[in-house]
Amino acid sequence: MNPWLMGLLAAAVSALVGASASSWWGSDAEAVAARGALTSEPEAPVQPGARASNATSEARAPVEDVVHPLAALDDDEIGALVQRDPSALGSASLGAPNRGILFNAVEFPDSPLWKRADPTHSWGTAESVKFVEFAITRVNERFENTPLLYVGDFSGRSGGRLRPHKSHQSGRDVDIGYYYSGEAVWYQRADARNLDRARSWTLLKALITQTPIEYVFMDKRVQALLEEYALADGEDPEWLSQVFAGTSKEGIVRHRWGHATHFHVRFVNPTAELTGRRSYTWLAQAGLLPGHKPRKRRRAAPHPFVSAARAPAMDE
């Protein structure tokens, strides 16, 4: 199994329906997943959609069906697990990325391949951490002597507000630096003189085609540089028009001011989001979510994939 698949418990299945489900990506080597119903506000929760392209030049291994780790447990058994050993739940992303909590966070580790810009804000879900590790590793597999890459904020260890961000609250957002032609730096404006287009495009493409993302925020000028490189490298123009949105709001990669020094990725976390929905009331009743009162217990959503827009807000 590919390393990125090892990090996914992604094709989650609801215990209430008791059936396994295929992953978003399917097994079509030419399918490229794009997540997106768009919103007008930066870093607002969005509903994942799907858009396919015929242009992916790199085949992907078929995605195996996997069962959500809590699929065999009913609600009362999950409550008992919370009382007995809440760490056994695994990572849980609760609520929306701009109004949420992270439980059982996983620390993005140190590595010779990257450097954490702020280790205190390097906490995400197990899925998000694995997705970033996979994409950076992919770049280093393709290019020898790749310099380390700076990785910025994920979330705080318990999630919640992480200034100055509006999101980064539930372990599914991360800021990632660009590869530069010179030495590795953090928060340097990328332009035609210093951007390592080959490595930066390889990184972005790995995230888009082989991890479940909702969208990417990137400055339109950097988008233009990477699109130009990708066209010259033989990527399909029609597919690239779906990837790069420029200043519009119709693509996978969307312009937001302030993202010329890094880009922002929001992941879908099928496992951690469903875990959050199924365990929230029990965690709140156990006092493990400070400041959040338990609500009346509700059935989990019958569909295993839970978007940020559909996840229950903490104060509903």
Domain assignment present for 115: yes
Domain assignment present for 227: yes
Domain assignment present for 269: yes
Q: Domain total for the chain?
A: 1
Domain assignment present for 217: yes
pTM of the entire predicted model = 0.75
Domain assignment present for 36: yes
pLDDT in tens, the chain (316 residues): 333 333 333 333 333 223 222 232 222 222 223 222 222 233 333 223 333 333 333 333 333 455 788 999 999 999 999 999 999 999 999 998 888 999 999 999 999 999 999 999 999 999 999 999 999 999 999 999 999 999 999 988 878 787 887 888 899 999 999 999 988 888 899 999 999 999 999 999 999 999 999 999 999 999 999 999 999 999 999 999 999 987 777 789 999 888 999 999 999 999 999 999 999 999 999 999 877 666 555 554 433 333 333 333 322 2
Domain assignment present for 314: no
Domain of residue 270, residue span: 3-285
CATH number of the structural domain spanning residue 26: 3.30.1380.10
Q: How far is CA 154 from CA 85, 87, 136, 148, in A?
A: 25, 20, 15, 18
Q: How far is CA 30 from CA 25, 54, 56, 156, 224, in A?
A: 10, 5, 5, 37, 24
How many CB atoms are located within 10 Å of the residue 315 CB? Answer: 10
Q: How far is CA 316 from CA 7, 44, 184, 294, in A?
A: 31, 17, 44, 11
DSSP the chain: --HHHHH---S---TTTT--B--SS-S-TT------B--SSTT---B------S---S--PPPPPB--TTTT--HHHHHHHHHH-GGGG--EEEEETTEEEEES-EEPPPBTTEEES-GGG-EE-HHHHHHHHHHHHHHHHHSTTPPPEEE---B-TTBS--TT-SS--SS-EEEEPPPBSSS--SSPPP-TTTB-HHHHHHHHHHHHHHS-EEEEE--HHHHHHHHHHHHHTT--HHHHHHHB-TTSSSSSEE--TT-SS-EEEEE--HHHHHHHHHHHHHHHHTT-STT-PPPPP-PPPSSS---TTTSPPTT-
Domain assignment present for 308: no
